[in-house]
Amino acid sequence: MGVELILNSANINYLAFARYSAGNYDGQIFAIFVIMLAAAEAAIGLAIVLGIYQTFHTIDVEATETLRG
């Protein structure tokens, strides 16, 4: 959640700088890139949770202590 907030605040800065700069689209391009990065991060996190659920049939963190081995 913290990483998402940091990425969104960076997007706001990129778009603000693009708005008040000389009319180029660099800030908007960077913001789209950051949005794609955040979507990929969420997909990887979901894949990890689904992998743990398929292996242990639970999402309880205490039940997954065999991964430390």
Q: Mind giving me the DSSP string for 29-51?
A: HHHHHHHHHHHHHHHHHHHHHHH
Predicted confidence at residue 58, as pLDDT, reads: 85
Going residue by residue through the chain, which has 69 residues, state the pLDDT in tens, using 9 for 90 and above. Answer: 788 899 999 999 999 988 888 778 888 899 999 999 999 999 999 998 898 899 888 888 777 776 665
CA distance 9 to 51: 31
Predicted confidence at residue 69, as pLDDT, reads: 56
Cα–Cα separations (whole angstroms), residue 27 to 7, 15, 16, 23, 62: 13, 5, 8, 10, 43
Asked if residues 35 and 42 have their Cβ atoms less than 8 Å apart, the reply is no
- The answer to whether the pTM exceeds 0.85 is no
